[in-house]
């Protein structure tokens, strides 16, 4: 049977539950995923005076073919995007600027250093998002940045964050879609602190300084990302969840929830509905923590499905800005992007093909038997046939056919680097 024949048959199964599958696919096309550029080069970036990765994050593996220039990285992203259905965004870090061989300090970065990215994004109809980079830098060597006891260090990073927001606003103005600027800092202590409050006060003050510079939300939207621990900040992280949740709510900023930044049994899917009661928008870094914040490639596991369900059943596709954050250097990096992003989209599609209103009604009626029965049965509904059709319809390879593209790309491009 052809992809279309399978689709027509599968569609009938969903239609019995009042699900308009054609409409679902139209809607899915309009949901952008922000694809993180840093999977392509192991968070190296292109600074002229490039430093080793720091900040308590780590990329393991030495699979050949990583991008070593902006052109290579863009080429690899293009390849991945050609295998992923829908129109998406690309998420950049400040270390991916292009400064023509000159050393430009991070607090001196300007929109012109990202002009090539903007031209490229225009050419490919992509939105861009942004992150100041507060790691892999001598001024972050002791693991402290915006909460540093030394005012000079703090001021440097404050200037960098302000410069970053201006760069993001340039993306927003040029591309006609606001850029999300996400601030994540590594600040914390390896061992038990004797004072948890003072660094948090300093971080709060630094953030106030950064956001004092007003930027129209038409161009730039600010987010702050919390963390539980990092390598070297096992005992204490200044920007904890409670810290940023309070800050974001009070200052009308977005909380960015990274799925790897919580206790092992604490899940982001369970936070979305609670946070959306108090905030109009939320941002996500979808990752896969294996035993720790390991940033494995996202797979279609229970938590990813649950995240998709929470976004869809709460009618929050316009409220949750979905970004990815994983980095695996032990496999083909273009494949990593493709697998993780396709899975994120699959999770959304899966959620859109569940009779969410009826399941809610069952819960209200206390009919937990039927609720569980249907939630389980829907797991084996012919979701794959709908996904295959979506891929075919959007002009990307169906099922594992994309692997052939990756294999030839590896042979013709990656292996020659």
Ligand X SMILES: C[C@H](O)[C@H](O)[C@@H](O)C(=O)CO
Stretch that binds Mn ion, among 29-37, 149-157, 250-258, 405-413 (CB under 5 A): 250-258
Contact between 206 and 147 under an 8 Å Cβ cutoff? The reply is yes
Count interface residues toward Mn ion (CB under 5 A): 3
Q: Which two tokens stand for residue 181?
A: 């600027």
What Rg value do the Cα atoms of the chain yield, rounded?
22
Beta carbon nearer to ligand X, 225 or 310: 225
Q: Which residue among 38, 184, 387, 402 is the active-site one? A: 184
Contact between 255 and 224 under an 8 Å Cβ cutoff? The reply is yes
> Annotated catalytic, 258?
yes
Secondary-structure breakdown of the chain: helix, strand, coil percentages, each rounded to the nearest 5: 50, 10, 40
Consecutive H or E run containing 254? strand 254-258
Task: Please indicate if the annotation marks 295 as binding a ligand.
Answer: yes
Q: Which residue among 76, 129, 325, 328 is the active-site one? A: 325
285 part of the interface to Mn ion, by CB under 5 A: yes
> Annotated catalytic, 302?
no
Q: What is the DSSP letter of 285?
A: E
> Annotated catalytic, 148?
no
> Annotated catalytic, 241?
no
Q: Which two tokens stand for residue 64?
A: 């050949």
Vertex 169 angle, CA 166 and 172, to 5°: 160
Task: Please indicate if the annotation marks 261 as binding a ligand.
Answer: yes
Find the shortest distance in angstroms from Cβ 397 to Mn ion.
29
Residue 341: other Cβ atoms inside 10 A? 27
Q: Which two tokens stand for residue 116?
A: 């090539």
The beta-strand segments (E) located in 155-209 are: 179-183, 188-189
> Annotated catalytic, 26?
no
Q: Which of 174, 258, 293, 303 binds Mn ion (CB under 5 A)?
A: 258
Q: Which of 174, 325, 388, 410 binds Mn ion (CB under 5 A)?
A: 325
Find the shortest distance in angstroms from Cβ 325 to Mn ion.
4
> Annotated catalytic, 225?
yes
Residues of this chain that bind ligand X (CB under 6 A): 38, 43, 57, 131, 184, 225, 227, 258, 285, 293, 325
Q: Report the binding-site residues for Mn(2+).
A: 261, 293, 295
Contact positions vs Mn ion (CB under 5 A): 258, 285, 325
Question: Catalytic residue positions?
Answer: 184, 225, 227, 258, 261, 285, 293, 295, 325
Q: Report the binding-site residues.
A: 261, 293, 295
């Amino acid at each position: 049977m052809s992809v279309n024949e399978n689709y027509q048959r599968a569609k009938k199964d969903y239609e019995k539950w009042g699900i308009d599958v054609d409409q679902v696919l139209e809607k899915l096309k309009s949901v952008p995923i922000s694809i993180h550029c840093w999977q392509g080069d192991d968070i190296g970036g292109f600074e002229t005076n490039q430093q080793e990765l720091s900040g308590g994050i780590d990329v393991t593996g030495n699979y050949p073919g990583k991008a070593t220039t902006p052109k290579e990285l863009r080429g690899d992203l293009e390849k991945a995007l050609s295998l992923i259905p829908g129109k998406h965004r690309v998420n950049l870090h400040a270390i991916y600027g292009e400064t023509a061989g000159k050393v430009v300090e991070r607090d001196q970065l300007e929109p012109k250093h990202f002009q090539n990215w903007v031209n490229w994004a225009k050419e490919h109809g992509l939105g861009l998002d942004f992150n100041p980079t507060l790691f892999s830098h001598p001024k972050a060597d002791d693991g402290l940045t915006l909460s540093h006891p030394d005012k000079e260090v703090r001021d440097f990073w404050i200037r960098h964050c302000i410069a970053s927001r201006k760069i993001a606003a340039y993306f927003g103005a040029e591309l006609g879609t606001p850029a999300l600027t996400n601030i994540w800092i590594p600040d914390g202590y390896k061992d038990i602190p004797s004072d948890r409050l003072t660094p948090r006060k300093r971080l709060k003050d630094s953030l106030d300084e950064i956001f004092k510079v007003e930027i129209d939300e038409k161009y730039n939207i600010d987010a702050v990302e919390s963390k539980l621990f990092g390598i070297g900040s096992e005992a204490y992280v200044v920007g904890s969840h409670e810290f940023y949740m309070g800050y974001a709510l009070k200052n009308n900023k977005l909380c960015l929830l990274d799925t790897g930044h919580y206790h092992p049994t604490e899940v982001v899917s369970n936070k979305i509905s609670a946070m959306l009661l108090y905030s109009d928008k939320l941002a996500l870094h979808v990752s896969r923590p294996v035993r720790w914040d390991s940033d494995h490639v996202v797979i279609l596991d229970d938590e990813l499905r649950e995240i998709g369900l929470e976004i869809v059943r709460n009618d929050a596709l316009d409220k949750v800005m979905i970004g990815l954050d994983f980095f695996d250097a032990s496999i083909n990096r273009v494949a990593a992007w493709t697998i993780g992003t396709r899975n994120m989209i699959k999770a959304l599609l899966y959620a859109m093909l569940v009779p969410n209103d009826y399941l809610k009604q069952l819960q209200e009626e206390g009919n937990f038997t039927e609720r569980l029965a249907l939630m389980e049965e829907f797991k084996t509904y012919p979701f794959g046939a709908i996904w295959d059709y979506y891929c075919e319809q959007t002009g990307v390879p169906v099922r594992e056919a994309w692997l052939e593209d990756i294999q030839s790309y590896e042979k013709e491009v990656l292996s020659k680097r």
